[in-house]
Structure 1
């Protein structure tokens, strides 16, 4: 099995496959959106590298900064992959379903 490249795709390929660039989304403005970052975080909570995410250099930096912010704010778990949370209407009592 061949080892993946350490630096990721080249410019044209990463611009074509970058979802943030295609949808014109700034990842830093989406730090509270936990479901957006599930595909960029491993099962152990580590941020995938650029060779796996196929993002541009700029989007990769912004995405990793947004994931770190979300972890610090408690939006996504620090040591595991975020799950989709469904909050009930009784949010003030702390009852929620996972």
Structure 2
């Protein structure tokens, strides 16, 4: 799979995350067949058209460069955040 195909696979997967739910870079990577850093690279390079903010670190925290905006967008969808962390067991996908 070339880089463009990986990016498209990541975007397709992220688009399937329902509103009010979240996933992790690692979970998306497992679905696509790449590592979590590759998922992050795809989203940072061109994921603006998909709900990138629904993808979190494995511990339920946001990436620092987008933390404030990501938390705002998640709150708007009713995702519970406590202490800067999302409860992945409660709202994790898939």
By the TM > 0.5 criterion, same fold?
no
Structure ID, larger Rg: 1
- Bigger share in strand: 2
- Bigger share in helix: 2
The normalised TM-score by structure 2 is 0.36
